[in-house]
């Protein structure tokens, strides 16, 4: 598959890296020569300097051979016009990053189909949705749903007094029996491990556990956590992301309190969010946070436009007793830093947009992809065809690439969290957790 990506910023880079790792032919187009130099020096992709909305520039990028076109610059109009100008192979899928909410309304004059756009990705809305999922899981730092929500892959930090601390996974599994729960990966000291039965779990490990909905609470218990109901959330900031999140919380009957520094913006939000409490104030004001009861909140979410403000206010809220803290960071290098300095979870609009794009553009046997902030891995859902060479073979004997683990099998209405004697069959959906280097090889095992 040939892919043309317009935009060499963090979203474009992240998408290009993932697709290139799968063995796709990728060309990245951007006006900024320095960005292109960085992309070319770090990734095995082609680069073209120029305006991605120009037919002549796209022709230089060999757009006629492309089956996928992704426009992810920071300018909506460039992305939309680029989709209009792109002429690739029949059936080429076009994806545009679009932030302006006017393009999403029913009364909008400019409809996506007029620009030949197949998928529009709104980074701010995607981030709000990712944040809502984290809040609903109460203690997870990352989460992805599979099989129509029957399965969850959640990231949890192991506490000092957790029941699995200093024990091997084999011992834990023997104790659990056939409970539908599996540790798919462990992030430790900046490295991602795909564990086996001899792996010893340590306090501070970030474990990625796949479990059915009924077994999620057991996963929390084993890692030293307990589930709490989400009823009250404080949001710092009057950003677009804050507005979208407050809307979603209202729909789920969760009370939201917003701290907005700009009085005019606070008034604007108050007119749109009738069930939320809007306060004018500085989110880094320790006294204000304490007076407004941040310590009694189920969660505190920092969604201002400034990374420093988000990090500082999150630390204050954490110190004041907020049960869960989620922090927006625009710089991707801050995402992994957030947990190291004591914050629960970090979200990024750029990463949310990139992940949403990857979920939409996978084709063939791939039905779902989930990427995670702190790991060199992703979870991929495959449809198993009769040509699959590992079908009908016990998993312990199947020749899967190093750095992969079959985390779950969905067979009709039945969800199986497998052990070594289980096997996948044609017609199943197999959910595989794979390190980045193994994504390409494991994808080849699941032909469409």
pLDDT band at 107 (very low <50, low <70, confident <90, very high): very low
Per-residue pLDDT of 206-220, as tens digits, reads 999 998 888 888 998
Helical (H) or strand (E) element with 338: helix 333-340
* pLDDT for 29: 97
The residue ranking higher by pLDDT, 34 or 105, is 34
Which tokens in the block code for residue 92? Answer: 């080429």
pLDDT band at 117 (very low <50, low <70, confident <90, very high): confident
Give the least confident one: 106-115, 208-217, 375-384, 411-420: 106-115
* pLDDT for 4: 97
All structural domains of the chain with their residue ranges: 2-121, 127-131+229-352, 146-222, 358-444
pLDDT band at 110 (very low <50, low <70, confident <90, very high): low
Give the dihedral sign, CA 165/166/168/172.
negative
Give the least confident one: 185-199, 293-307, 323-337, 427-441: 323-337
Residues 6+ apart with CB under 8 A from 41: none
| Overall fold of domain 127-131+229-352 | Rossmann fold (3.40.50)
CATH fit for domain 2-121, picks 3.40.50.720, 3.30.2040.10, 3.90.230.10, 3.40.640.10: 3.40.50.720
Measure the CA–CA gap between 200 and 413, rounded to whole angstroms: 33
* pLDDT for 177: 82
Q: Sheet holding 255-260: strands in order across? A: 277-280, 255-260, 232-236, 299-302, 325-328, 345-347
- The SS3 of residue 164 is coil
Which tokens in the block code for residue 360? Answer: 């939409």
- The SS3 of residue 358 is helix
CATH 3.90.180.10, domain 358-444, yes or no: no
**Mean pLDDT across the chain:** 88
Per-residue pLDDT of 262-296, as tens digits, reads 999 999 999 999 899 999 999 888 888 888 899 88
* pLDDT for 136: 78
Same fold for the pair 2-121 and 127-131+229-352: yes
Any idea how long the chain is?
448
Q: How many CB atoms lie within 10 A of CB 433?
A: 28
Give the least confident one: 229-243, 249-263, 350-364, 404-418: 350-364
CATH 3.40.50.2300, domain 146-222, yes or no: no
- The SS3 of residue 166 is coil
Could you tell me the pTM of the whole model? 0.75
Q: Please, are residues 446 and 427 in contact by the beta-carbon 8 Å criterion?
A: no
**How would you write 40-70 as a 3-class SS string?**
HHHCCCEEEECCCCCHHHHHHCCHHHCCEEE
């Amino acid at each position: 598959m040939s892919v043309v990506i317009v935009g060499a910023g963090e979203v474009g880079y992240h998408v290009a890296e993932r697709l290139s790792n799968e063995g796709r032919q990728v060309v990245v187009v951007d006006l900024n020569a320095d960005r292109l130099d960085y992309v070319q020096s770090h990734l095995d992709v082609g680069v073209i300097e120029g305006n991605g909305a120009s037919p002549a520039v796209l022709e230089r990028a060999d757009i006629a051979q492309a089956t996928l076109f992704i426009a992810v610059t920071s300018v909506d109009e460039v992305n939309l016009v680029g989709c209009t100008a792109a002429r690739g192979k029949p059936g080429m899928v076009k994806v545009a990053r679009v932030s302006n909410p006017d393009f999403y309304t029913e009364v909008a004059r400019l409809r996506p189909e007029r620009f030949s756009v197949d998928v529009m990705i709104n980074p701010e809305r995607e981030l709000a949705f990712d944040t809502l999922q984290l809040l609903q899981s109460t203690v997870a730092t990352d989460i992805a749903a599979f099989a129509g929500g029957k399965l969850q892959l959640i990231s949890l930090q192991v506490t000092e007094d957790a029941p699995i601390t200093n024990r091997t996974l084999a011992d834990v599994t023997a104790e659990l029996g056939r409970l539908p729960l599996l540790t798919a990966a462990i992030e430790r000291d900046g490295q991602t491990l795909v564990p086996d039965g001899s792996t010893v779990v340590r306090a501070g490990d970030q474990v990625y556990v796949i479990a059915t909905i009924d077994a999620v609470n057991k996963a929390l218990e084993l890692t030293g956590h307990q589930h709490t109901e989400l009823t009250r959330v404080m949001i710092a900031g009057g950003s677009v992301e804050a507005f979208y999140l407050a809307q979603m919380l209202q729909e789920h009957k969760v009370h939201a309190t917003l701290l907005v520094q700009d009085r005019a913006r606070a008034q604007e939000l108050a007119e749109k969010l009738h069930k939320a409490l809007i306060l004018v104030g500085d989110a880094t004001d320790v006294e204000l946070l304490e007076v407004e009861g941040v310590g009694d909140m189920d969660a505190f979410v920092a969604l201002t436009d400034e990374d420093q403000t988000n990090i500082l206010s999150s630390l204050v809220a954490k110190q004041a007793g907020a049960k869960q803290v989620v922090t927006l960071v625009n710089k991707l290098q801050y995402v992994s830093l957030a947990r190291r300095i004591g914050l629960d979870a970090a979200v990024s609009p750029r990463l949310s947009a990139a992940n949403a794009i990857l979920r939409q553009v996978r084709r063939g046997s791939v039905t779902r992809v989930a990427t995670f902030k702190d790991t060199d891995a992703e979870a991929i859902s495959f449809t198993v065809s009769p040509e699959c060479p590992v079908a009908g073979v016990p998993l312990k004997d199947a020749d899967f690439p190093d750095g992969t683990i079959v985390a779950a099998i969905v067979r009709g209405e039945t969800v199986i969290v497998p052990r070594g004697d289980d096997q996948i069959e044609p017609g199943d959906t197999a959910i595989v957790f794979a390190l980045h280097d193994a994504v390409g090889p494991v994808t080849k095992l699941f032909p469409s």
